[in-house]
Amino acid sequence: MEEPKKKSRLVGKILLRIVLPLLLAIVIGFCVFVWVALSADDAIYTNTDTISDAIGSLQPRVVILDSVDVKTQPTATTCGITAVAVMSNYFNHTGYEAADLMERCSAGDVPDWLQGELADRTIVFHANGSNDAMIRDIHASLCDDKPVLIYFGAPNPYNVPYYDFHGSVVYGMDLDSETILIANVYGYCEEIALVDFLNQMAFAETRKYPFIQRFVLKCTKSMDENMYYLVVD
C-alpha cells in the first residue's frame, strides 16, 4: 500500500512545483499580452501624405450627390440594413425606411440585402486596399452619380463615448477642403476631414472602442480595413 501512496505524493509534488507554476506563467503571459495589445493604438494618420499625389490629380475637385436621403437606424444593430435602404432609395426611388427592408429581408447580411435591392446592377466589395485606391474609387463612383456604402468606425450614440463598427453611405467629396460627406445612418449628414476618414476606415485609434471590439481589432486581427461597396453598372 505504501508504493501507490508514494507515487500519488510524487505526482502531487510534480503538479504543485512544475505544472501549476507553468500554467500560472502562461495565464500571466497571456494577460500581459492582451493588456499591452489593448492599451496601444494602431498607427494613426496625422496627415494625408499617403494620398496627396492621388487627390492632386482628381477632377472635379468637388462632387456631391444632392438626392441622397439620410435615414435613421431603428436600433443599435441595424446600421447595415439602414445603409442599404439609403442606397435602395437613391437607385430605385423606393422611399424605404429600414423597417421596410427588415420585413423583406429575414436573412443574410449587407451583401445579400444590397444585391437583392439592386438586382439589375453589379456590386463589387473592396477591402484592405490602399488609401490611394479607395479615394480614387469613391471619387470615380460619385462622378458616375453613384453613392458608396462604407463600413467604418464612428462615434456610437447608443454607447457614448465609444466608437462602433458602423455602416453608412458616402455621398460627396470636396478635395480642395479635404472633406468627405457622409449620410450617417445614426440620422444625420456629416462632413469628415479626409484624415479622420482614413483613420475611421482603418479602425485606428482603437482605444475609442469598447473592450470586446478592441480585442477583435488588436488581438484577433479579423477586421478588414477600407471596406466599401461599389455599384459598378
| pLDDT tens column, 58-94 | 999 999 999 999 999 999 999 999 999 999 999 998 8
Q: According to CATH, what is the number of the domain 49-231?
A: 3.90.70.10
Q: Would you call 13 helix, strand, or coil by DSSP?
A: helix
The yes-or-no verdict on residue 120 having pLDDT over 80 is yes
DSSP 48-99: SGGGHHHHHT-SSSEEE-TT----B-SSTT-HHHHHHHHHHHHHH-----HH
Whole-angstrom distance, CA of residue 138 vs CA of residue 190: 17
> What's the chain's length in residues?
233
The yes-or-no verdict on residue 105 having pLDDT over 50 is yes
C-alpha cell at 160: 457614448
Please report, for the chain, the start and end positions of each structural domain, with discontinuous segments joined by +.
1-39, 49-231
- pLDDT, residue 108, reads 76
Residue 8 burial class via C-beta count within 10 angstroms: exposed 0-12, middle 13-18, buried 19 and up? exposed
Dihedral (C-alpha) 168, 174, 177, 182: value to the nearest 10 degrees? Answer: -10
Dihedral (C-alpha) 10, 11, 17, 21: value to the nearest 10 degrees? Answer: 180
Q: Which of 167, 137, 163, 141 is nearest to 152 (CA)?
A: 167
Mean predicted confidence (pLDDT) in 190-202 = 95
For the chain, give the mean pLDDT. 85
DSSP 104-133: H--S--HHHHHHHHTTTS-EEEE-S--HHH
- pLDDT, residue 35, reads 45
Mean predicted confidence (pLDDT) in 120-134 = 95
Report, in angstroms and rounded to the nearest whole number, the Rg of the chain calculated over CA atoms: 24
